[in-house]
Structures are given as structure tokens and as C-alpha cells.
Structure 1
Amino acid sequence: MAATQVVRSEWTKIRSVASTVWTLSLAVIVTIALGVLISLLSKNEFDNLSARDQLSFDPTFISFAGMTLGQLAMIVFGVLVVSNEYSTGMIRVSLAAVPQRGTFLFSKIAVATGLAFVVAVATSFATFFLGQAMLGEHRASIGDTGVLRAVIGGGLYMTLIAVFSMGVATMLRSPMLSLGILMPFFFLISNILGNVGATKKVGRYLPDQAGSRIMQVVTPVDDDTPYGPWGGLGIMALWVIAALLGGYALLKKRDA
């Protein structure tokens, strides 16, 4: 089967699954709603902040507060895109139709990544503009230094979270096992490693902590991170590439 036919087939599969629409819709709603709420609360609390905290106040990054939960839906999307075929047994039919496993896998991931990117970038811009509207006089402008980079970076971050989840799901095959590892990893382990003094220097090289750097415009006074916004996104991209290569290696090696 030609690569274009495989891509078309994967697009049909993805858009015909209800969970795809629901998870992406949830990512949009949660990210925007929580971002607006946190921005409004931050505006009301600004005058109560210390002078040091006011200097580190980052209106752009604050509007992206909802991505902490929004990425949960992107993880679910990434896992389901890949593992749905394993849980239903459709993987045997798919691999019989497309014996070239590399073509099969990367066509699926390319289609899902494109969809995730469009949704994530649109969400990032909507979150920024609505969040800044809530911040009032403390808001940032899209034309300010570093802001456009942070907004586009927010979309890239959410996309890479989804693609990383696709790679992990390809390795593990089971949706429950994949989610059972990814959820605690991003929402518990990463936060613990990143906030405990003894492990902080290790934690900042984890994919979510490194990648989220791209959304920061104002650098905190006491920040000693050895990489910048694009360096952090690069570290996250390396994690994603490693996950995809691991998934591809295992897909080639084992039976459906």
C-alpha cells in the first residue's frame, strides 16, 4: 500500500473514533478554563505579592496554568491513538494490510501529530488572549519580547506530550498500562523530583519540566537552570525521539 493511502487510512481511523474528539475537546476546554481562572485569581492577588514575587510575575506563563491538566487529555489522546488497535485486535488486520511496520507506525503518528498540533496551537493562542484579558493592567502583549515564542511554544509543548505518549503506548501496547505509567510519571514523580532539593537538578531534565521552559517569558530571580527556552524544548524533543525509536524497535521485533 502506498504511503499516501496509509496516511489516508490512518486519518479515517482517527476521526472515526469518538474518544479522539472527546479527549482533544477536553484538552481545549480544561486548558482554557483553568488558564482563565488562574489568571483572574492572579490579578486579584498581585498587590499582595512580595516585591520579589512581583518582579518574577510572568503573565504569559500564568495564562498557561491550565496546561498542567490539559496535558492529561493530550496524554490520553496519544495513548488511545496507538493502543486502541491493540485492545480491539484490529492491529492484526492493519499490519496485514500494511506489512511495512515503519510505514504503518509513522503514518499513524504523523496524522495524529498533525491533528494534535493544530488543536494545541489554537488552544495556546486562545488561552493566552483570554488569560491576558483576565489579568487586566498586568497583562502582556503578543508583541512583547519572548511572548510570541512562548505562545507558539505552548502549542509545541502540548503536541510533544501527545507524541511522547504515542511512543510509550507503542512500546507497552496496553492502554491501561501506558496510562498507569504516564499519569504518575507526569503528575507525581516529575513534580516530586523537580521540587525536592536533592533531586531538583535531575528533575529539570525530565520532558515536561524541560519542555515547559519554552512557555516562560520572565525568568525567576533565583533560577539557575542551565538551558534556555529552546534548549528545554530540545531536551523534551530528545525524549520524544527516544520513545518513538523504542516503539518502532519493539514493533518490528515482536508479533502483533
Structure 2
Amino acid sequence: MAAAQVLRSEWTKIKSVNSTVWTLALAVIFSVGLGMLISALTKNDFKNLSTKDKLTFDPTFISFSGLSLGQLALVVFGVLVVASEYSTGMIRTSLAAVPQRGTFLFSKVAVAALLTLVIALITAFASFFLGQAMLGDHHTTLSAPNVLRAVLGAALYMTLMAMFSMGVASMLRSPMLALGILMPFFFLVSPILNSVSATQKVARYFPDQAGQRMMQVVTSGDDVPYGPWGGFAILLVWVAAALIVGYVLLKKRDA
């Protein structure tokens, strides 16, 4: 089957599954809604912040506070895109139609990643503008230094996290197993380890922690040894590793 046909086939699969559509919608709602709420609460509490916190205040990053929850919906989306065919048994039919497993996997990832990027761009810009509106006098503008880079970085972060989950799902082949590992890790394990001084130096290199640097404008005042571009590079390595291992296992194993 030609690559263009495979891409069309994968697009048809994604748009025909209601659960994947709903996860994308929830990603937008959670990200934008929670970002607005936290931005509004930050505005009301700004006068109570310490002098240090006021000096290092990052209004752009505050408006992206909801992305930590929204990314979980994108993780679910990434897992479902890849692993749902294993749970239904459709993977045998798909691989019979597209025996070139590399073409099969990376066409699926490419279509899902492009769709995620579109949703992520909408989410990032909506989160930014609505969050800044909630911040009132403490807001920033898109024309301020590094702000546009951070907004685009937020969209890219969400897309890469979805792609990472696709790679993990390809490795594990089970939606329940993949979600059973990824959801607790990103929602509980990673934040907890990053907040404990003994494990913080390791946790800062986790994909979510590194990727979040991409959407920060103010990075002074912390001891993280890399900036937004370093965070992007680290996250990219995680994504590449997950997809490569997923492809190798797909190629070696039976459907």
C-alpha cells in the first residue's frame, strides 16, 4: 500500500473513534479552564507573594498551569491511537494490509502528531490570551521577549508528550498497561520526585519536567542546568527513544 493511502487510512481510523475525539476536546477544556482559574487566583494573591517570587514571576508560564492536566488527556489520546488496535484485534488486519511495519507505525504517529499539533496550538494560544486576561495588571503580551517562543514551545511540548505516549504504547501493546504506567508516572511520581531535594536532580530530566522548560520565559532564580532549548532537546531524546524501541519491538514480534 502506498504511503499516501496508509496516511489516509490512519486518518480515517482516528476520526472514526469517538474516544480519541473526546480526549482531544478534554485536553483543550482542562488546559484552558484550569489555566484561567489559576491565573485569576494568582492575580488575587499577587500582593501576598514574597519579593523574590514577584521578581521571578512568569505570567506566561502561569497561564499554562492547566497543561499539566491537559497533557494527561493527550497521553490517553496517544495511547489509544496506537494500542487500541491490539485490544480489538484489528492489528492483524492492519498489518496484513500494510506489511511494512515501519510505514504502518510512523504513518500512524505522523497523522496523530499533526492532529495533536493543531489542537495544541489552539490550546496554547487560547490558554495564553485567556490566562493573561485573568492576570489583569500582571499580564504580559505576545510581543514581549521570548513570549511567542514559550507559547509555541507549549504547543510543541503537548505534541511531543503525545508522541512519547505513542512510542510507549507501541512497546507495551496494551492500552490498560500503557495508561497504568504513564498516568500515575506523570500525575504523581514525576511531580513528587521533582519536589524532593534528594531526587530532584534526576527528576528534572524526566520528559515532562524537561519539556515544561519550553514554555517558560523567566528561568532565573532556579538551579536547573538547562534552559528552554535544553528542555526541548531532552524531551526530543525521550520521544525518539520511545518510538525507536516501539518500532524495533513491532518489527520483531508477532501481531
The normalised TM-score by structure 2 is 0.99
Note if 1:76 corresponds to 2:55. no
User: Which position in structure 2 is the counterpart of 1:247?
Assistant: 246
For 2:208, the aligned partner's letter is D
Describe the SS at the equivalent of 1:198: helix
State the number of aligned residues.
Answer: 255
- Following superposition, the deviation at residue 192 of structure 1 comes to 2.0
Q: Which runs of 4+ in 1 moved over 4 A?
A: none
Contact 2:219 2:227 in 1 (8 A): no
- Equivalences for 1:121-136 in 2 at 5 Å? 121-136=121-136
> In 2, distance between residues paired with 1:36 and 1:87?
37
> In 2, distance between residues paired with 1:104 and 1:91?
10
**Which stretch shifts more, 187-196 or 79-88?**
187-196
User: Which position in structure 2 is the counterpart of 1:50?
Assistant: 50
- Equivalences for 1:148-163 in 2 at 5 Å? 148-163=148-163
- Following superposition, the deviation at residue 220 of structure 1 comes to 4.2
- Equivalences for 1:170-209 in 2 at 5 Å? 170-209=170-209
User: Which position in structure 2 is the counterpart of 1:9?
Assistant: 9
For 2:86, the aligned partner's letter is Y
CA distances 1:196-215 after superposition (whole Å, capped 9, x unpaired): 11111111110000010011
Describe the SS at the equivalent of 2:117: helix
For 1:233, the aligned partner's letter is F
Describe the SS at the equivalent of 1:12: helix
Contact 2:117 2:159 in 1 (8 A): yes
Describe the SS at the equivalent of 2:254: coil
> In 2, distance between residues paired with 1:25 and 1:188?
23
Paired-residue identity, %: 71
CA distances 1:27-62 after superposition (whole Å, capped 9, x unpaired): 000000000000000000001111111111110000
> In 2, distance between residues paired with 1:126 and 1:48?
27
> In 1, distance between residues paired with 2:188 and 2:33?
22
Unaligned runs of 5+ in 1: none
> In 2, distance between residues paired with 1:168 and 1:103?
18
Note if 1:40 corresponds to 2:29. no
Unaligned runs of 5+ in 2: none
Describe the SS at the equivalent of 1:99: coil
Note if 1:105 corresponds to 2:125. no
